[in-house]
Structure 1
Amino acid sequence: MALACRVLGRALRVPEAHREPLCPVSRAGAATAVTPEQLRLNVALEVERGDQALSAAEALVQAQLPYDAASRAYYAAFHFARALCLAAGEAPVSHRGVAHLLSLLYVRTAVLPPDTSRLYAGLQRYRESADYDAAFVLDAAGTAQALDDAKVLVERCRTWLRSQALVD
């Protein structure tokens, strides 16, 4: 079952037809109770999207499509970072919010290594440049580095999620 949440103001709302699983909301919104089963499902949905994005990035590297590969590598990291945010009871509604919460909740508290923020920020810069800057040049080495960074970040997130019994 796919979960579709709409953003209303600063809070996430689940459409009436999909009341399970519930999405937690950001700090600015009212708290929404999420059962452990719903949390695991929400995390699993993000992990699934992250795994798909990572597979797509690998295929795009093989197809010699560096800009699309860099973008998908970022989205792999994004979905895994978002899964960590959900695990902490947060549902950021922006890419910037995901980066902030990843650093605040997991890097500053030494749950993840200090270079995690740098890896994530680098992937985000590659994605923005690849998607929006027509003059940006990304060579094979840069694409390979983006993919390697995404794999490192994904593995760190997956390891922590497994340690919390949130994914298999």
Structure 2
Amino acid sequence: MDEKKIDLAKYRLQRAVEKLEIAKYSLENGLYISALSNTYYSIFHSTRALFALEEIDSKTHRGVIHLFNLHFIKPGLLPAKLNSILSGALEMRLDSDYEDFYLVTKEETQEQYENALYFMSEIVNFIKANYNVEI
């Protein structure tokens, strides 16, 4: 496999890990809107890490969801739950970033964080199994 693709995938996964660490800190410190935003970006960067290995990408967030569904969910390569997590995380991030007086509970934020952990784990396992890349 092309080293540039592997390096880009690893870089994007590292960004995903960093966003997840920030989300955890935010969650632990009651910064729920920040945690929501960072869980979404963790999921987003995980998805784009996978895209790097396939040389696909999108310039929009909704485009990433569309391509993920088209290339990985519809063919049955990854569980449909991942598409729900990705699209749900985007909606929560948009709502929390742009709606005035957006309220989110600790429990909702914790669930989003756990979804992001699960999502990243599934992506990393898929990459290891299908691309023979050690992450």
Assess same fold via TM > 0.5. Answer: yes
Q: Check the 8 A contact 2:24/2:35 in 1, yes or no.
A: yes
- Aligned AA (1:165): N
Q: From 124, 129, 132, give the equivalent of 1:165.
A: 132
Are 1:149 and 2:95 counterparts? Answer: no
1:102 aligns with 2:68: yes
Cα shift at 1:166: 2.9
Tell me what 1:125 maps to: 91
Opposite residue 156 of structure 1, the aligned amino acid is E
Q: Which residue of 2 aligns with 1:27?
A: none
Counterpart for residue 26 of structure 2: 60
Distance in 1, matches of 2:15 and 2:49, equals 10
Contact 1:43 1:166 in 2 (8 A): no
Which consecutive aligned stretches of 4+ in structure 1 deviate over 2 angstroms post-superposition? 165-168
Aligned runs of 1:1-168 on 2, under 5 Å? 36-163=2-129, 164-168=131-135
The AA in structure 2 aligned to 1:55 is: E
Whole-angstrom distance in 2 between the partners of 1:85 and 1:104: 12
* Kept in 1: contact 2:6–2:52 (CA 8 A): no
Unaligned runs of at least 5 residues, structure 1 = 1-34
Q: Kindly, what percent of the aligned residue pairs are identical? A: 22
TM-score (norm 2): 0.94
TM-score using structure 1 length:
0.76
Give RMSD over aligned pairs: 1.1
